[in-house]
């Protein structure tokens, strides 16, 4: 298992590395975002621990660039503990957020939790609905359902954030990208088509009035 630790403070990198090596992780280090992107491009990283405030490229921008290369489970580690910073991180898609000062043991426990969770989420199963993320396929009662790439991306994002209300703006940013020049009707149109394709499971996608949608599993 390969872990990338991105922090401009060498002492913090050393502490995390010491604990990670005890758990038999192979550790890569970067002191800024540009170094981190280069490492991800040239290595098969399994999990990232990422600081926010760094020279050259901040953590949020670094994570956004890394997502274009590969979706890697990521924990934000930062001295900035405001609610806004946490919400921004989660809206971007990070898996966890831990404030400094932190417990190295707690950090390692969270790393193990998100890597275990991501392995489990190679496939989503709810009654007769099966979503195979690796195979990019959806089945209902063992019959394959045809979804467009955008519909599959929306469904995947819903599942990854199940039981959480998601605004149309967040869906546009996460599924279409920040450079998309469209409006809310684009989201609504795709949701309508996705619901139709999900047949009896269409009601899993709930409309949240005045905001957006929620993929609700009871």
Handedness of CA 13, 19, 22, 25 (dihedral sign): negative
User: Which class in CATH covers the domain with range 123-215?
Assistant: mainly alpha
pLDDT at position 183 is 65
* Residue spans of the chain under pLDDT 50: none
CATH of 2-119, one of 3.30.420.40, 3.40.50.2300, 1.10.357.10, 3.30.230.10: 3.40.50.2300
Name 50's bridge partners: 6, 76
**CA neighbor of 210 nearest in space, from 167, 162, 158, 164:** 167
**Alpha helix segments (H runs only) across 70-216:** 83-92, 104-120, 149-160, 168-171, 184-198
Nearest to 205 by CA among 121, 153, 194, 130: 194
- Strand 129-132, strand 123-126: pairing: antiparallel
Tell me 130's DSSP state: E
Break the chain down into helix, strand, coil percent, rounded to 5: 45, 20, 30
Q: Kindly report the length of the chain.
A: 218
**Which tokens hold the place of 29?**
């280090």
Q: What is the pTM of this model?
A: 0.56
pLDDT of residue 119: 64
CATH 1.10.10.10 location in the chain:
123-215
Q: CATH 3.40.50.2300 occupies which residues in the chain?
A: 2-119
Q: Residue 75: what pLDDT?
A: 92
**Distances, alpha carbon 101 to alpha carbons 53, 66, 89, 98, 118, in Å:** 14, 25, 18, 9, 26
Q: Which tokens belong to 169? A: 């703006």
């Amino acid at each position: 298992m390969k872990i990338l630790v991105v922090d401009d403070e060498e002492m913090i990198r050393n502490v995390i590395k010491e604990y990670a090596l005890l758990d038999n992780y192979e550790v890569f280090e970067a002191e800024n975002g540009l170094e981190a992107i280069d490492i991800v491009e040239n290595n098969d990283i399994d999990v990232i621990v990422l600081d926010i405030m760094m020279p050259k490229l901040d953590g949020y921008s670094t994570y956004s660039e890394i997502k274009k290369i590969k979706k890697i489970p990521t924990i934000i580690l930062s001295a900035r503990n405001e609610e806004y910073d946490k919400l921004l991180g989660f809206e971007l898609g990070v898996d966890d957020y831990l404030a400094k000062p932190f417990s190295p043991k707690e950090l390692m426990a969270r790393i193990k939790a998100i890597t275990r969770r991501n392995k489990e989420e190679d496939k989503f199963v709810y009654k007769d609905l099966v979503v195979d993320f690796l195979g990019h396929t959806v089945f209902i009662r063992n019959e394959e359902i045809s979804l467009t790439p955008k519909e599959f991306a929306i469904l995947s994002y819903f599942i990854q954030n199940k039981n959480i209300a998601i605004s149309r703006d967040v869906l546009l940013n996460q599924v279409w990208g920040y450079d998309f020049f469209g409006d809310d009707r684009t989201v609504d149109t795709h949701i309508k088509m996705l619901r139709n394709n999900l047949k009896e499971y269409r009601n899993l996608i709930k409309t949240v009035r005045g905001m957006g949608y929620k993929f609700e599993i009871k």
